[in-house]
């Protein structure tokens, strides 16, 4: 799939694009189920990298403080609460360029504890060095999240302290260690439609494709380089979800950050376009997220039900 062929999907009449996305979605998934994940920041702030969108970079003056790694008991308590609210996957994020060995050992303990609760596990810890992916896999980590963020030709407009290839190298390490991949990006960072198409083509070119594809709408954080700017057109965002669904037909497409900016009817369009996973809970890493009660109310309006974790779904790719 070439960037040009992906861009041609973006250019389709909206009804035709949605029809293709719905067709692809129904071929591989129950269109009336949504997978629920909960994301917890286990180590917040103080990151050395210069990602232009990120509230946790030590290079920017934001309201996020540098905090130590959370204690194991607190992580277990949060995972139990997430499970009680219906989440089937628990995702742990740490604001590091990459984990030190002593920190990785502590995270491995967290992974084991969450697995013992019967939940799927995911972690986003930055770039991995040789041997670290294997340690996480041995602890039982199901998914490693490492987003491409944007297209290779726009990447240095967003991040300069590491490269697009660095991202690909970490994804390769995680895949080689036997973990599934959670890999997506952020829309609305000033990229063009052509660059959004290239980004989706680059995701689809990963072999195999990521099992989970989070599509984030930029949350503009004051104090970051991307704290101000023109918002992405909502229909263009829905088009992006639909194109991702068509190009990544067997992946779970997660409607991720930015949902607090989306009214119910816009989220409904995103589900119609093929999104079938969300982050569930009142907070992402540092940004707000809709209340679980609000999400349940929306699901009731749409006739959507949460995906239940069964033996079959536990073995299948899930996001």
10-residue averages of pLDDT along the chain (319 residues): 95 98 96 91 90 89 86 94 88 92 93 94 94 95 96 96 95 96 96 97 95 94 90 96 97 90 93 92 62 84 83 39
Architecture of domain 3-315: Alpha-Beta Barrel (3.20)
Give the pLDDT confidence score for residue 312 in this predicted structure: 39
Set 254, 259, 270, 318: catalytic member:
254
| Predicted local confidence at residue 313, as pLDDT | 41
pLDDT for position 88: 87
Is 254 catalytic? The answer is yes
Is 122 assigned a catalytic role?
Answer: yes
| Model pLDDT, residue 318 | 34
Q: Is 54 a catalytic residue?
A: yes
Domain ranges, ordered by start, for the chain: 3-315
Give the pTM: 0.90
Please indicate whether residue 91 is annotated as part of the active site: yes
Catalytic member of 83, 89, 182, 245: 182
- Hey, which residues does 252 pair with through a beta bridge? 212
Known catalytic residue at 247? no
47 assigned to active site: yes
């Amino acid at each position: 799939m070439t960037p040009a062929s992906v861009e041609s999907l973006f250019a389709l009449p909206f009804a035709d694009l949605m029809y293709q996305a719905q067709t692809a979605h129904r071929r591989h998934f129950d269109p009336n189920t949504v997978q629920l994940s909960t994301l917890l920041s286990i180590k917040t702030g103080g990151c050395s990298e210069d990602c232009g969108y990120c509230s946790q970079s030590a290079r920017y003056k934001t309201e996020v403080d540098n905090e130590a790694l959370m204690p194991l008991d607190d992580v277990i308590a949060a995972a139990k609460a997430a499970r009680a609210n219906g989440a089937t996957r628990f995702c742990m994020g740490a604001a590091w360029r990459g984990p030190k060995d002593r920190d990785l050992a502590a995270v491995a303990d967290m992974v084991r504890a969450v697995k013992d609760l019967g939940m799927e596990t995911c972690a986003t810890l930055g770039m991995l060095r040789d041997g670290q992916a294997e340690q996480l896999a041995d602890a039982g980590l199901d998914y490693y999240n490492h987003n491409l963020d944007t297209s290779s030709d726009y990447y240095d407009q967003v991040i300069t302290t590491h490269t697009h290839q660095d991202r690909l190298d970490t994804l390769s390490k995680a895949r080689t260690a036997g973990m599934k991949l959670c890999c997506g990006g952020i829309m609305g960072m000033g990229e063009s439609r052509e660059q959004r198409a290239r980004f989706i083509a680059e995701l689809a070119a990963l072999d195999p494709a990521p099992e989970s594809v989070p599509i984030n709408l930029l949350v503009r954080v004051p104090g970051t380089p991307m704290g101000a700017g023109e918002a992405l057109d909502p229909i263009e965002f829905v088009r992006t979800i639909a194109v991702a669904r068509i190009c990544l037909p067997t992946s779970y497409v997660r409607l991720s950050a930015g949902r607090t900016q989306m009214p119910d009817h816009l989220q409904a369009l995103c589900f119609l376009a093929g999104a079938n996973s969300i982050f569930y809970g009142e907070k992402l890493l540092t940004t707000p997220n809709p209340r679980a009660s609000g999400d349940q109310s929306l699901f009731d309006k749409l006739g959507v039900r949460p995906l239940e974790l069964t033996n079959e779904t536990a073995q299948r790719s899930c996001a």
